[in-house]
Amino acid sequence: MSIWRWADMIEPISESARITLGEGDTPLVRSRSIGPAAGLTNLYFKLEYGNASGSYKDRFAFTAISHMVAHGKKKCVATSSGNTGASLAAYCAAAGIECRIAIVEGAPLGKLKQMMAYGAKIARIRKFGTDPTATTLVLEKLKKLGERPDSAMQVSAFVYSPAGMSGVQTVSFELAEQSACPIDHVFCPAGGGGLCVAVARGFQQLLDRERISRIPAIECVQPDGNNTIAGPLRAGADRAQEVDCTSKVSGLQVASVVDGHLAIKECRPTGGTGHLVTDEYVWEIQKRLAREEGVFTEPAGAVALAGALQATANGAVDSDAMIVCMVTGSGFKDEVAVDRINADIECPMLDADTIDEW
């Protein structure tokens, strides 16, 4: 089924301008090992790495670039820590739009190569993503470039690109379709917070149209080295905060607030709260997902599960609750993280006649 079946639920786009690369309808799979081991009987993974370019950001890009086509824009200027850039580069290639992307300093090489393979022109910016002043300056400059008549700035955040971000809400529509019973919690990783906002708003749309009976608690999970949203949300604050980012989790290194205020505003009424996890725990869960579930994700894609397991250990969720963890990107995107997983094993070279001794 085409993701455009949700056209009436996102920002309007004429049929002639709609771009698709087969995004959406990603699997929702039940945990066979990690959940039962933690005492969770209904733990599920939404495998967003099944999207066209390997991450949930395709839900942003298919809408954002289709809007550019509809308005005759020929140049896309964007920021990215990796996945957004790859998605935008792919959809710009499909639409014949020039794509220029300012990249956070620590973005994995695999993601940069993916963007360049699609033909995007990219540059890494010093301190972008980890220093709030540098991050704000980059966004201000790109905003001016995006104001040119033939251009548009695309940043995967509601405060910058609300039309594109409406496409991310389709993940909530799919979850409601795929789940046999009402979902109690959706754990989302957060950098700028846009995914949390989109998931909450998507379920609210379904409730408003009486397609679901209640909204799940939208849980915001962040590395503790990038505590812009989760800590303030948990503490009862109304506003997110800028930080000096120390996390090494690629994709979630967003030192400035971005959609943080909105995330707090949208998550709290659902009953969700904030969860902070260490980088080391995220890496451990990434490895467990691969080896115990067959789920090959980048570190950012393991953050939601890390938060869910931590909440379970703290008694914050019921053992029989219906829990969905967003697995947001493919493990193929971060070679360094894969090397970390494989540090305890090697691939030997054998002679053919020694295979039976292996």
Domain segments of the chain as ranges: 3-55+165-341, 58-158
Q: What is the DSSP string of 134-175?
A: HHHHHHHHHHHHHTSTTEEEE-SSTTT-HHHHHGGGHHHHHH
Q: In the prediction, which pLDDT does 167 show?
A: 98
Q: Residue 342: how many CB atoms within 10 A of its CB?
A: 12
Q: In the prediction, which pLDDT does 185 show?
A: 98
Q: In the prediction, which pLDDT does 268 show?
A: 98
Q: In the prediction, which pLDDT does 88 show?
A: 97
Q: In the prediction, which pLDDT does 265 show?
A: 98
The answer to whether 258 and 194 have CB atoms below 8 angstroms apart is yes
Which whole number is the average pLDDT over 242-267?
A: 92
Instruction: Identify which of 100-114, 131-145, 250-264 has the greatest average pLDDT.
Output: 250-264
Q: In the prediction, which pLDDT does 34 show?
A: 98
pLDDT of 333 > 90? The answer is no
Q: In the prediction, which pLDDT does 357 show?
A: 81
pLDDT of 228 > 90? The answer is yes
Query: One-letter amino acid identity for 180?
Result: A
pLDDT of 129 > 80? The answer is no
Largest CA-CA distance found in the chain, in angstroms, rounded: 68
At residue 108 the predicted structure's pLDDT band, cuts being 50, 70 and 90, is confident
CATH of span 58-158: 3.40.50.1100
Q: In the prediction, which pLDDT does 161 show?
A: 95
Q: In the prediction, which pLDDT does 358 show?
A: 83
Q: In the prediction, which pLDDT does 115 show?
A: 94
Fold: same for 3-55+165-341 and 58-158? yes
pTM of the model: 0.94
Average pLDDT of the chain to the nearest whole number: 95
Assess if CATH 1.10.150.170 describes domain 3-55+165-341: no
208 is written with which tokens?
């408003």
Q: In the prediction, which pLDDT does 356 show?
A: 86
- Angle at which helices 260-267 and 194-208 cross, to 10°: 40
Which whole number is the average pLDDT over 173-189?
A: 97
Q: In the prediction, which pLDDT does 61 show?
A: 98
% of the chain exceeding 90 in pLDDT: 84
DSSP label at 258?
T
Give pLDDT tens digits for 270-323: 999 999 999 999 999 999 999 999 999 999 999 999 999 999 999 999 999 999
Lowest mean pLDDT among 80-84, 90-94, 159-163: 80-84
Is the four-CA dihedral 236, 327, 291, 41 of positive or negative sign? positive
Cα–Cα dist 66/95, whole Å:
8
pLDDT of 1 > 80? The answer is no
The answer to whether 168 and 195 have CB atoms below 8 angstroms apart is yes
Cα–Cα dist 222/43, whole Å:
19
Q: In the prediction, which pLDDT does 7 show?
A: 96
Which whole number is the average pLDDT over 116-138?
A: 88
Which whole number is the average pLDDT over 82-106?
A: 93
Q: In the prediction, which pLDDT does 82 show?
A: 84
